[in-house]
Amino acid sequence: MGIKGLNAIISEHVPSAIRKSDIKSFFGRKVAIDASMSLYQFLIAVRQQDGGQLTNEAGETTSHLMGMFYRTLRMIDNGIKPCYVFDGKPPDLKSHELTKRSSRRVETEKKLAEATTELEKMKQERRLVKVSKEHNEEAQKLLGLMGIPYIIAPTEAEAQCAELAKKGKVYAAASEDMDTLCYRTPFLLRHLTFSETKKEPIHEIDTELVLRGLDLTIEQFVDLCIMLGCDYCESIRGVGPVTALKLIKTHGSIEKIVEFIESGESNNTKWKIPEDWPYKQARMLFLDPEVIDGNEINLKWSPPKEKELIEYLCDDKKFSEERVKSGISRLKKGLKSGIQGRLDGFFQVVPKTKEQLAAAAKRAQENKKLNKNKNKVTKGRR
């Protein structure tokens, strides 16, 4: 999941592509969210003292519903209209990664069985967390009752989120996952959820500014990400972020880099290109992912189905009726104020004038130089 060290590269080389802002500045915006990723976080994080998940009387897990319900409310309160995107089938290339993960699971299961202390059991249990079909379906049911739209992506949710943003159906993709940039989402929002309450402001990453700032085409950027390390294939051992960027800059593509290394010109014997390296397929998964055409998608935010929502959450899942009812009124209120929401699409399709883009790129370049000069700066805290 994600691209290793990409965040660090962007912060260092193109800090101006990351705009930091308050959640309020997204009022009226629509955003696409990777649902499966959220569910995973909730399942891991929403726990009780004893480390167990929240459940109803029948012992069915409710952590994911809890998280999804309140996080969604929180966004609605702030005038943000979320659309959730669920993962479809993972692409074949990911199966290597996935089998690795499942063999790790088997080991963890063994350790769990052998675990003696409660603490040890808890630790292993957390590692075993997986988003099941049921979790996904329950979350979809919840969203349906809340009147929040969702989409089931053909493959990767991130790719579909980016597609929605590209076609102006939403303003941005909201995710912690940097690989959303590889799908060329106009904007990526990080920390959208835990701003306000927590420390960090929301980071809004502008993909075009990243490309211009690094002076790479999208193809080169994707190649860079593959070399940094992605989910789809190996990277070249011994080549870290610094070298990867240098190589892409001087050679322009992985093809050329492979040629360069194999020809021996690099007078560097240690770098080993992975065998049968499927970087071309990986590249295509980023450049041309399987998605539903955004133009065919019509996102609708509807009033909540009050009675059924109470039945589902309170009767079935044992949520507090008082809280759910208050949630319902928050939903209705948020929906009303959202009617005159911003027209995300309009400004996206014809994004910025050339002048604006050029000015922004220039700023990025200048920033880059500045940053280079003050080597070893203490990381800005706040």
Which residues are near DNA by CB under 7 A?
1-2, 4-5, 7-8, 41-42, 44-49, 54-56, 62, 66-67, 70-71, 73-74, 101, 104, 108, 126-127, 176-178, 193-194, 197, 237-244, 268-270, 317-320, 323, 379
In the complex, minimum distance from the CB of residue 110 to DNA, in angstroms, rounded to a whole number: 13
Q: Is 34 annotated as a binding residue?
A: yes
- DSSP helix/strand/coil, 337: helix
CB-nearer residue toward DNA: 266 or 302: 266
DSSP bridge partners of 21? 202
Cα separation, 27 vs 341, in Å, equals 8
Q: Is 311 annotated as a binding residue?
A: no
In the complex, minimum distance from the CB of residue 348 to DNA, in angstroms, rounded to a whole number: 26
Cα separation, 161 vs 158, in Å, equals 5
CB-nearer residue toward DNA: 268 or 356: 268
Q: Which of 285, 284, 222, 275 is nearest to 253 (CA)?
A: 222
Cα separation, 335 vs 339, in Å, equals 6
Q: Is 215 annotated as a binding residue?
A: no
CB-nearer residue toward DNA: 38 or 348: 38
In the complex, minimum distance from the CB of residue 356 to DNA, in angstroms, rounded to a whole number: 28
Q: Is 231 annotated as a binding residue?
A: yes
CB-nearer residue toward DNA: 5 or 213: 5
207-214 vs 6-13: helix crossing angle, rounded to 10: 70
Burial 166-182 (b: 16+ CB within 10 A, else e): bbbbbbbbbbbbbbbbb
Q: Is 92 annotated as a binding residue?
A: no
218-228 vs 241-251: helix crossing angle, rounded to 10: 150
CB-nearer residue toward DNA: 9 or 361: 9
Q: Is 47 annotated as a binding residue?
A: yes
Q: Is 308 annotated as a binding residue?
A: no
In the complex, minimum distance from the CB of residue 70 to DNA, in angstroms, rounded to a whole number: 4
In the complex, minimum distance from the CB of residue 168 to DNA, in angstroms, rounded to a whole number: 26
In the complex, minimum distance from the CB of residue 167 to DNA, in angstroms, rounded to a whole number: 26
Q: Which of 37, 296, 320, 42 is nearest to 190 (CA)?
A: 37
Q: Is 315 annotated as a binding residue?
A: no
The owner of tokens 């560097």 is 268
CB-nearer residue toward DNA: 22 or 351: 22
DSSP bridge partners of 187? 206
Q: Is 293 annotated as a binding residue?
A: no
Return the number of other C-beta atoms located less than 10 Å from residue 94's C-beta: 19
Q: Is 77 annotated as a binding residue?
A: no
CB-nearer residue toward DNA: 138 or 361: 138
Radius of gyration of the CA atoms of the chain, in A: 22
In the complex, minimum distance from the CB of residue 49 to DNA, in angstroms, rounded to a whole number: 6
CB-nearer residue toward DNA: 301 or 319: 319
In the complex, minimum distance from the CB of residue 161 to DNA, in angstroms, rounded to a whole number: 16
Residue 134 φ/ψ region, left for φ over 0, alpha for ψ in the -120 to 50 degree band, beta for the rest:
alpha
DSSP-H helix ranges across the chain: 6-13, 35-45, 63-77, 95-114, 118-127, 133-146, 157-166, 207-214, 218-228, 241-251, 254-262, 279-287, 306-310, 321-338, 344-349, 354-373
Burial 329-349 (b: 16+ CB within 10 A, else e): ebbeebbeebeebbebbeebe
Binding site: what residues are annotated?
A: 34, 47, 71, 87, 156, 158, 177, 179, 229, 231
Binding-site residue set for Mg(2+): 34, 87, 156, 158, 177, 179, 231
**Binding site per annotation, positions for DNA:** 47, 71, 156, 229, 231
